[in-house]
Amino acid sequence: MFDGVKASRRAALAAAALAAALAACLPGGSDAVAATGPLERSPDGKRLTLTFADEFDEFRPYRLGQGVWRTTLREGPVDPQDFNVRTLKSNKELQLYVDPDMHGRRRGREDDDRPLGLNPFTARNGTLEIAARPVPRELAERLDGYRYVSGMITSQPSFRQTYGYFEMRAKLPRGKGVWPAFWLLPADLSWPPEIDVMESVGDPSKVYVTLHSNHVKAEGTEVRVSPDDFHTFSVSWTHDEVIWFVDGREVKRMATPADMHKPMYMLANIALGGDWAGQPDATTPFPARMQIDYIRAYRFAP
């Protein structure tokens, strides 16, 4: 979801429209309590060793070399006025990814150096909630006219891995223009490749899985799920193949492209707008909330 990424994803959407939707609707689980502990084997039988886990008993943002999750795209400058690491203009997104430390544009007032107090993250009962909502009217000028704020978490500063099994258990938001995702990007900040473990646009009963590469065409696959439940979205990435799973059920398999053999890190976010998701409108329920029960990663054991 960096510059240029979603432009290619628009092509993937067209391909996804042609892909056959899986017939069965996966039931999922009604709440975060139903989650299981770390896996010993992947759904296709590979032995696993846990290398990363956040159960979100608290939210641990990355600050001053400590913590887990960066809340901006890439490793941007520390200047809180730089919005380039807080949205993707090339994709016509309408939101800024904000956090409690974010300042707005200065207006020559004494209080303009203070954080705006925007926090899209809430950790409660072992679940991280990311919320997207319209910008408060009194802050619009400080935010360059952006209409919405939302949240992103990325493990870029704390965790990356070549190959493995990556999973997120989450309940997705609904509404026109709402675009949640869980994905992997290269630690060297190149693009492509990219693995989209899960994306959804407006309708949480439909999720899409795909990858982006210089060597293969991006073709998304639509998967039907029950819209009001938690689901586990995961991918098994080896030297030879990439396999996607939803609630432990295989939904797609591809050969690993030639440019997908380097460390990658994990991201989860809610975007708003863009050519794929469309514009939010009066029917869009705000705040739009993605609830994340956990994010985990594993290596394949010998």
Residue 145 is predicted with a pLDDT of 86
Q: Which is the catalytic residue, given 55, 58, 199, 241?
A: 199
Q: How many CA atoms lie within 13 A of 36 on its CB side?
A: 10
Selecting among 40, 110, 194, 222, the annotated active-site residue is 194
pLDDT at residue 109, as a whole number: 60
Closest of 285, 272, 62, 34 to residue 153, by C-alpha = 62
Report the pLDDT value the prediction gives residue 79, as an integer from 0 to 100: 58
* pLDDT at residue 39, as a whole number: 96
| pLDDT, position 35 | 61
Coil, strand or helix: which one is 70?
A: strand
Q: Which helix (H) or strand (E) holds 277?
A: helix 274-277
* Strand ranges in the chain using DSSP code E only, listed in sequence order: 48-54, 95-97, 121-124, 127-134, 148-150, 152-154, 164-171, 178-186, 194-199, 206-212, 221-224, 231-237, 241-246, 249-255, 264-272, 288-300
Q: Which fold has domain 5-30+39-106+114-300?
A: Jelly Rolls (2.60.120)
Backbone phi and psi for residue 90, each to the nearest 5 degrees, phi listed first: -65, -20
Concerning whether 199 is annotated as a catalytic residue, the answer is yes
Q: What pLDDT does residue 108 have? A: 59
Q: State the CB neighbour count (10 A cutoff) for residue 50.
A: 14
Q: Give the C-alpha separation, 101 to 94, whole Å.
A: 20
Burial pattern 1-32, b for ≥16 Cβ within 10 A else e, equals: bbeebbebbeebbeebeebeebeeebebbeeb
Verify whether residue 110 is a known catalytic residue. Answer: no
Q: Tens of pLDDT along the chain (302 residues)? A: 543 444 444 444 434 433 433 434 556 665 655 568 999 999 999 999 999 999 999 999 999 889 999 999 877 555 556 788 899 887 889 999 999 989 887 665 655 678 899 999 999 999 999 999 999 988 988 898 899 999 999 999 999 999 999 999 999 999 999 999 999 999 999 999 999 999 999 999 999 999 999 999 888 999 999 999 999 999 999 999 999 999 999 999 999 999 999 999 999 999 999 999 999 999 999 999 999 999 999 999 98
Residue 281 to residue 279: CA distance in whole angstroms? 6
The model's pTM: 0.89
- DSSP string covering 98-143: --TT------S-GGGGS------EEEETTEEEEEEEEPPGGGTGGG
